[in-house]
Homo-oligomer: A and B are copies of this chain.
Amino acid sequence: MEPKENGNQPGRVIEGPTNPMVTPLLNDLYQFTMAYAYWKAGKQNERSVFDLYFRKNPFGGEYTVFAGLEECVKFLANFKLTHQEIDYVRDSLPGSEEAFCDYLKGLDCSDVEVYAIPEGSVVFPKVPLMRVEGPVGVVQLLETPFLNLVNFASLVATNAARHRFVAGKSKSLLEFGARRAQGPDGAISASKYCYLGGFDATSNVAAGKLFGIPLRGTHSHAFVSSFMSTDEIVDKVLQSADGETTCDDFISLVQTWLTKIQYSPSLSGFFSETNQSELAAFISYALAFPKAFLALVDTYDVMKSGIPNFCAVALALNDLGYKALGIRLDSGDLAYLSTEARNFFCAVERELKVPGFGKMIVTASNDLNEETIDALNKQGHEVDAFGIGTYLVTCYAQAALGCVFKLVEINNQPRIKLSEDVTKVSIPCKKRSYRLYGKEGYPLVDIMTGENEPPPKVGERLLCRHPFNESKRAYVVPQRVEELLKCFWRGSADEAREELPPLKEIRDRCIKQLENMRPDHMRRLNPTPYKVSVSAKLYDFIHFLWLNEAPVGELQ
């Protein structure tokens, strides 16, 4: 999608969505049938207000990270149907009038306003993440794309944040999910939003290029088994790190070290003969990347082959002034193997007098998730970096977040969506929302009010009510009041609005907000729900409207 110039002004341009497949046709057909029916009824320009929110935090937790906003703004800033798209829509609506095509032709988001919580914020159920206002005909066409762009983004960012929480701040977290993700941009979105949620790097080259995310990756088992023996290696020459000396036979140097390790008192007995294809692969890899040698050590046997082979190559590199980075473990008992590997490295440091050798980075991969990292922590391990794929990027533990997009007002008339299930009743009215902070600096409660109610004031006692449970209410004296919804779109890129910050800044906001939550909301086991409330006035209005709309039953 080409970015649209804003009229004749020198106007600012907001680029289109990352994925060019995100067009107004990424939509449910019923948004178009409704647009047609609104248009037929002359209602298409009625001013509507929709809230985008979710009903339940994912993964059994009590918090969610909001993500996907930037892509939504990029989408609506460039919202325009092409002739070809219009023709297709017309053909899909049986019996539709030709004049509807003219309506679609003129459709854009110049009458739409979007208020949203900044991307990367910690958010809670029922509180609108976005409030979208505008002509009902066009806002209806934003529902499916916005939900699509927000649902997975927020889900996977939350999943990443949860993995960070269990791994701890000091560990490196690497996203390795591209091959198992739900399609090509399931991969690219996951890389973006895992970084946003607190990961350090990704293996996904496309995501690295698109979003500036640091990349990580070394080699696979196939690389190891593609070698038969060191005889295959033709060019054995390696210059020293400072460029001053040249080792003419790096293979011999490695083999000398391998023998030294083998006959070193506290290292002997670990292994007899190491695998030669593995050794050849490690040497080749080191010759290619002497400054960044990190080896996958579990192709044959970690302790009998992988670790001794790695150490021999690392020690040979060390002779030439290079520091090897470390190893990756991709199978087996990671707690046991990481500890054994660490012990071996420390023994090499001691026995062979190589300072710092014990600090080799141990990276672990192989179907890791929140649970397995938690289990590793409980067992004790020596892993420095976790490479996480499938469970992270597909959000295996809960593969969908249920964001919804509900009409709360039309033509200044508040609307409520009823349901037999009280958790599905929508909170009517165009609203404002605030986060109230307590004395210790933690957020205490989010409160929604009618649009024209006076905002909560610092130091003033305020009644916060559960929206649907009359017995749940509490007085709060906020020490800080933060209005949650900010304007991100007001008809054009030139109008006053919040800037779209770079991804790194969104990530920083996310990490800071997560750290600033009261710990009991964040813990994995039985976390305390964060409170979400409405003002007394809004409470009364919700229940007035509810009684008004609900049919009175008749017992028969």
| Interface residue from B180, B287, B292, B406 paired with A147 (Cβ < 8 Å) | B180
Given A143-B179, A148-B183, A292-B94, are A400 and B406 also a contact pair (CB < 8 Å)?
no
Contact B94 A289 (CB under 8 A): yes
A 222-252 contacts with B by CB, 8 A: 222-223, 225-226, 228, 232-235
Q: Which residue of chain B has its CB nearest to the CB of A420?
A: B332
* A523 adjacent to chain B (CB < 8 Å): no
Number of copies of this protein chain within its complex: 2
CA distance A217 to B92 in the complex (A): 10
Q: Which residue of chain B has its CB nearest to the CB of A84?
A: B209
Q: Mark A6-44, 1 if CB is under 8 A from B, else 0.
A: 000000000001111111011111111110111011110
* A554 adjacent to chain B (CB < 8 Å): yes
CA distance A218 to B30 in the complex (A): 5
* A288 adjacent to chain B (CB < 8 Å): yes
Task: Enumerate chain B residues within 8 angstroms of A190, measured Cβ to Cβ.
Answer: 182
Task: Enumerate chain B residues within 8 angstroms of A34, measured Cβ to Cβ.
Answer: 219-220, 222-223
Contact B37 A225 (CB under 8 A): no
Contact B30 A220 (CB under 8 A): yes
* A512 adjacent to chain B (CB < 8 Å): no
Contact B30 A407 (CB under 8 A): no
CA distance A1 to B21 in the complex (A): 13
* A536 adjacent to chain B (CB < 8 Å): no
Binds B, one of A343-351, A354-362, A391-399: A391-399
Contact B46 A148 (CB under 8 A): no
* A450 adjacent to chain B (CB < 8 Å): no
Binds B, one of A106-114, A296-304, A453-461: A296-304
Q: Mark A385-416, 1 if CB is under 8 A from B, else 0.
A: 00000100011101111110111001001011
Determine how close the nearest CB of chain B comes to the CB of A144; give it in whole angstroms: 5
Task: Enumerate chain B residues within 8 angstroms of A92, measured Cβ to Cβ.
Answer: 205, 208, 215
Contact A184 B407 (CB under 8 A): no
Contact A22 B289 (CB under 8 A): no
| Interface residue from B152, B206, B288, B331 paired with A420 (Cβ < 8 Å) | B331
* A149 adjacent to chain B (CB < 8 Å): yes
* A-B contacts, 16 listed (Cβ < 8 Å): A20-B20, A21-B21, A29-B205, A29-B217, A40-B284, A48-B226, A88-B208, A94-B291, A95-B289, A136-B226, A143-B222, A148-B187, A183-B185, A183-B188, A225-B410, A301-B551
Other 9 A-B pairs with CB < 8 A, given A37-B289, A225-B410 = A30-B219, A38-B223, A92-B215, A95-B289, A147-B180, A152-B182, A183-B189, A221-B406, A396-B400
